[in-house]
Amino acid sequence: MPTASNSGPWLTGRRIYPQIAERLRTRITSGAYPADSVLPSEAELGREFRVARNTVRRGLAILENEGLIVTIPSKGRVVTGGRDEGTSYRYEVIAGDLRDAIKRGELAAVPSELTLRRRYSASRNTVRQALAVLEQEGLIHAVQGRGRFIRSKPSDP
pTM: 0.51
Query: Is the pLDDT reported for residue 3 higher than 50?
Result: no
Mean pLDDT of 2-9: 49
* Closest among 64, 65, 124, 131 to 94, alpha carbons compared: 131
Fold of 90-150: Arc Repressor Mutant, subunit A (1.10.10)
Average pLDDT, the chain: 83
Query: Is the pLDDT reported for residue 132 higher than 50?
Result: yes
Fold of 4-79: Arc Repressor Mutant, subunit A (1.10.10)
Please report the pLDDT score of residue 4 as a whole number: 44
**Portions of the chain given CATH number 1.10.10.10:** 4-79, 90-150
Q: Give residue-wise pLDDT tens across range 52-107.
A: 999 999 999 888 888 888 888 778 898 886 454 555 678 888 999 999 999 898 88
Q: Give the gyration radius of the chain's Cα atoms.
A: 18
Q: What string of DSSP letters covers 83-144? A: S-TT---HHHHHHHHHHHHHHHT--SSPPPHHHHHHHHT--HHHHHHHHHHHHHTTSEEEET
Report percent pLDDT > 70 for the chain. 83
Mean pLDDT of 14-19: 84
Please report the pLDDT score of residue 156 as a whole number: 44
Please report the pLDDT score of residue 134 as a whole number: 92
Please report the pLDDT score of residue 6 as a whole number: 46
* Closest among 17, 81, 74, 76 to 41, alpha carbons compared: 76
